[in-house]
Structure 1
Amino acid sequence: MDGDNQTIVTEFLLLGLSGPSEQEDILFGLFLGMYLVTIIGNLLIVVAITGDSHLQTPMYFFLASLSCVDICFSSVTIPKMLVNHILGSKSISYVECMTQIYFFITFSNMDGFLLSVMAYDRYVAICCPLHYTVFMKPRLCILLVVASWVVTNLHALLHTLLMVQLTFCFDNTVHHFFCDPYAILKLSCSDTSINDLVVFTVGGLIFLTPFTFIVLSYAYILSSVLKLPSAHGIRKALSTCGSHLTVVSLFYGAILGVYMRPSSSYSIQDTAVTVIFTVVTPLVNPFIYSLRNHDMKRALRKLISDSRIRKF
């Protein structure tokens, strides 16, 4: 490519929500509402779990960790888009874009790792109930979360360092509402084969490892549940996993549809799919886990009741 067609890109233009002003205003209100509900809902879960002694168990420790990650995950992408709309701007600086990519990869992978740890927790609780307290010790729970943070941050660092080595052409228009790694790769004048290779090898490994643990955990759970003598026992066992399976299906279904293929095939239509796991999944997590969980509903009612009493 001609050197005349290349330049040092200092900013990108995010056009994911571009359109008629009325449409942009509606989308702004929609995203703002979803973001506020996501933050408030997940914060309520964290506060309810930390403030209720009955919820000081591994399952709720992992759920609180997932809620914290979901708050951070939503905060990586949505606030910048909302601020740009208020300011009438579409730009995001190169440094901000690379930072957004780093944390987007970190928190999206962290979601997957926590979902796999939660699946393992359900496996131990259902398949080895007598040994649950032996296997799921507090030290192991903390170690699993810390190890997940280390792996996901190293993975994000690898992708970000490879990204900053690329040269970007004059075209800096991103048809997305945030700096999606695939959308940015398509703008590069450089050879992105190494980036694609890392996505399919290292990225595939980071993606498939927790996904495999989830599949195996629920395969064992299903096998054990089917051996229960009563239909009531089967329903009770499956009800503890239903909410988790719903979140897993939403999250991994969207990722499989967008990122498990070459970046060159990325299209504007994929923007809608990424909304599912960047905006919708963190939004519905509090509702899925609280509405299907009697202990969570009790803790939330107690939290709201106590706050009203203190208010008066």
Structure 2
Amino acid sequence: MPRCGHQEVDNFSCEMPALIKMACVYSKVIEVVVFAFGVVFLLVPLSLILISYGVITQAVMRIKSAARCRKILNTCGSNLTVVSLFYGTIIYMYTKPQTSTSQNGKLLSLFYTIVIPSFNPLIHTLRNKDVKSVIKRILWIKKWLAKS
């Protein structure tokens, strides 16, 4: 897309919404195409992920056990947390109108490109009993040292 004059992208990376704002051409068609691709490449995988978790939940609900809710949360909780954070920010970023002029775009792009992938291993390791016990021990030691 051609740019008007010497402009810089006001973002941490070359995000499509920022590039569309700089275009000299009529950009409504491009916005519609980006929105359509956003639906296909974001909502279709998200739908497949949610359907698979629905199937897992149905399988666990058939178990005649008092601990089935805990099994559902242990199986799907951390993954759904990461999926909802990641896809939630990306869907908001790419499906909002491009004419809005907020600085939230920078924060959101930073959030889904750096913050969520950085916390992904931490969220998944918190399911491990050994990791939980080490964290509890560290917090107990810090609390004990603070009292001394």
* TM-score interval, normalised by the smaller of the two chains: 0.7 to 0.9
2:90 maps to 255
Structure 2 unaligned blocks of 5 or more: 133-148
Determine which of 169, 177, 182 is the counterpart of 2:4. 169
> Which runs of structure 1 show a deviation greater than 4 angstroms over 4 or more consecutive aligned residues?
294-297
Q: Is contact 1:168–1:189 with CA below 8 Å preserved after alignment?
A: yes
2:61 maps to 226
**Aligned equivalents of 2:117 and 2:9: distance in 1?**
24
CA drift of 1:291 comes to 2.3
**Aligned equivalents of 1:168 and 1:296: distance in 2?**
51
- Are residues 292 and 203 of structure 1, via their aligned partners in 2, closer, same or farther at CA, if it must alter by over 3 Å? same
Structure 1 unaligned blocks of 5 or more: 1-165, 298-312
**Residue identity matched to 1:226:** M
Aligned ranges 1:19-34 → 2 under 5 Å: none
CA drift of 1:267 comes to 2.8
**Residue identity matched to 2:40:** L
Determine which of 13, 16, 34 is the counterpart of 1:178. 13
- Are residues 288 and 201 of structure 1, via their aligned partners in 2, closer, same or farther at CA, if it must alter by over 3 Å? same
Determine which of 13, 32, 41 is the counterpart of 1:206. 41
Structure having greater relative contact order (Cα 8 Å, sep ≥ 6): 1
CA drift of 1:169 comes to 0.9
Aligned ranges 1:37-48 → 2 under 5 Å: none
Higher helix share: 1
CA drift of 1:176 comes to 1.3
Percent of paired sites with the same residue: 39
Q: Is contact 1:183–1:266 with CA below 8 Å preserved after alignment?
A: no
Residue by residue, what CA displacement relative to the aligned partner does 1:222-274 show, whole Å, maximum 9, x if unpaired?
23323321122431243021110110011011112211133223532221122
Q: Is contact 1:250–1:276 with CA below 8 Å preserved after alignment?
A: no
Count of residues paired in the alignment: 132
- Matching of residue 264 in structure 1 with residue 99 in structure 2: yes
- Are residues 230 and 261 of structure 1, via their aligned partners in 2, closer, same or farther at CA, if it must alter by over 3 Å? same
Q: Is contact 1:174–1:184 with CA below 8 Å preserved after alignment?
A: yes
CA drift of 1:296 comes to 9.3
Task: Name the TM-score, length of structure 1 as normaliser.
Answer: 0.39
Task: Name the TM-score, length of structure 2 as normaliser.
Answer: 0.77
Aligned ranges 1:50-89 → 2 under 5 Å: none
